[in-house]
Amino acid sequence: MITDNEVVLLQLGREPRGTWRSVVRCRHAAPVVIATRPDLEDGEPFPTLFWLTCPVLCERVSALESSGATDAWTDRLASDVDLAAAMGAADEVYRRLRQAEAEGADRCSTVGIAGQRDPLKVKCLHAHVAAYLAGIADPVGQGALEGVPWECDDARCVRGGSV
């Protein structure tokens, strides 16, 4: 049986940075989202709490980013007061969860999702999708996933085959 460490190594093509744990799995039981501590072993701050690891979903989200979706989301957040309020609330939850993951000593507390100081600026849909899948009511992550199938049919990560 393949371990989470082996699966994530295959998914990312490298060792993940820092201490992490799986928080979301696909129907094949492979990690899809991992949570990382906001401080690396060498003391470097690492603001990304939830990290998208599934190569199928990463590829689909990359396609959205390439099509201009990050700018479109920033524009929507600037023009929709309710959407902006929901994003602000999601960012606050993200910061609280990262502080809990750091056991109270979050050296990245000045930034939120995707390392952004301003929660209404979108630079990385991967981070928003990961936050949404991890249970945060992130409207950008939720919206990015609408109509996007995010699980593979062949369980390639669990089998240990190439991703």
- Residue 108's SS3 state is coil
Report the distance separating Cα 11 and Cα 85, nearest Å. Answer: 34
What would the pLDDT profile of 16-65 be if each residue is shown by its tens digit? 888 999 999 999 999 999 999 998 889 899 999 999 999 989 999 999 99
- The answer, yes or no, to whether residue 127 has pLDDT greater than 50, is yes
pLDDT at 95: 96
- The answer, yes or no, to whether residue 161 has pLDDT greater than 70, is no
pLDDT at 155: 79
- Residue located via tokens 């939830």: 50
Report the distance separating Cα 26 and Cα 31, nearest Å. Answer: 7
Residue 132, H or E segment = helix 125-133
pLDDT at 73: 98
Report the distance separating Cα 34 and Cα 23, nearest Å. Answer: 5
More confident residue, 154 or 97: 97
pLDDT at 61: 96
Burial label, 59 (beta-carbon count in 10 A; 0-12, 13-18, 19+): exposed
pLDDT band at 137 (very low <50, low <70, confident <90, very high): very high
What value does the mean pLDDT of the chain take? 92
pLDDT at 159: 65
What would the pLDDT profile of 82-104 be if each residue is shown by its tens digit? 999 999 999 999 999 999 999 88
pLDDT at 160: 55
Where is average pLDDT lowest: 10-14, 81-85, 120-124? 10-14
- The answer, yes or no, to whether residue 128 has pLDDT greater than 90, is yes
**Which DSSP string do the residues of 7-62 spell out, in sequence order?**
HHHHHHTSPPSSSEEEEEE-TTS-EEEEEE-SB-TTS-B----EEE--HHHHHHHH
Nearest Cα to Cα of residue 71 among 146, 79, 137 = 79
pLDDT at 149: 81
- The answer, yes or no, to whether residue 146 has pLDDT greater than 60, is yes
